[in-house]
Amino acid sequence: MPFSGGGGGQLTNHVHDNTPLQGGPLSFNGTTIGGMNAGDITFSDGAALQTLAYPGVPAGETLTASALSTAPSWVAAATASSAVELLGSAEQGAAANALNLSFPSTSFADVSAIDVYFSAYQANSNDWNITINGLTGATSYIIQRSQMKNGTLTNTQVSRPNINTPLAQFIGGHMRIICQDPSTTAGAYNYLFFSGEISGFDNVSALNSYQWFGGHYSATSITAVNAVNLACAGGVNMEAGAVISAYKTNRT
């Protein structure tokens, strides 16, 4: 049966390439023929055209040429990962001696640093103490400190069971925790390093203070962090409203 219509006659001139004849190339816009659903696309398997169905419940999939494949496919969107993520935050609901922040154990194989921010107030004039992972070895926090008190600077090195901050009723500060990557220092000692700064004001003695500090924990090898504790020295209570938050900086 000839393609020109009817029961006979000569086949109409035609070609099997992209040479436009009799009205030009086929326009796909608005074409109603074809057994495809909304969003479907076509591709060639090398022998014939095939249909790739549009995702039934779109969720950000990407049209992908997967490794070693011979056809395109829809691949689920990668889980977003922020460079900096909140590990946890805690606020003092009622007066108490310590404010404890715990979060899922965070390996230093996955992060480059953990940043801790805090602010607090106590009615009395006293020091403040910070511990990491609940570690309180008697002389295990080796700290270099520079303290400015009402304009007078002093420098000291101390070995303590905690990180000791200046005498102050009101404090606000930041501490960064950094450790060697255990996946690249296998068999070596993993020192937990820390550095930070704290501003303070003591209304009892009208003392302004500022402290820079840095050091390491020396008693044991540390490969992960899961808690940071802020406490008033001498068993004094800090008042409600104190806050502490920790963020991690991902390696990738």
- Asked if residues 229 and 177 have their Cβ atoms less than 8 Å apart, the reply is no
Topology classification of domain 84-250: Jelly Rolls (2.60.120)
Q: What pLDDT is recorded for position 12?
A: 64
- Render pLDDT for 205-246 as a digit per residue (tens, 0 to 9): 888 999 999 999 998 888 899 999 999 988 889 999 999 999
Q: By C-alpha distance, which of 159, 158, 223 is closest to 191?
A: 223
Q: What pLDDT is recorded for position 135?
A: 94
Measured over the CA atoms of residue 182, residue 186, residue 188 and residue 189, the dihedral's sign is: positive
Domain ranges of the chain: 41-75, 84-250
Q: What is the DSSP string of the chain?
A: --TTSSS--PPPP--SSS---SS-SPP-TT---SS--TT-EEEE-SSSEEEEPPPSS-SS-EEE--TT-SS-EEEPPPPP--SEEEEEEEE--S-BSEEEEEEEEEETTTEEEEEEEEEEEEEEEEEEEEEETT---TT-EEEEEEEEETTEEEEEEEEESSEEEEEEEEEEEEEEEEE--TTTSTTS--PEEEEEEEEEEETTTTEEEEEEEEEEE-SS---EEEEEEEEEGGGPPBPTT-EEEEEEEE--
Q: By C-alpha distance, which of 103, 101, 86, 89 is closest to 226?
A: 103
Mean pLDDT by 10 residues, the chain (252 residues): 55 62 66 77 89 88 88 82 90 95 93 95 90 94 94 95 89 92 69 93 89 93 93 91 96 78
- C-alpha span between 96 and 9 (Å, rounded): 101
Q: What pLDDT is recorded for position 130?
A: 96
Cut 0.85: pTM above it: no
Q: What pLDDT is recorded for position 80?
A: 61
Amino acid 123 reads A
- C-alpha span between 130 and 104 (Å, rounded): 19
Q: What pLDDT is recorded for position 18?
A: 62
Q: What pLDDT is recorded for position 247?
A: 97
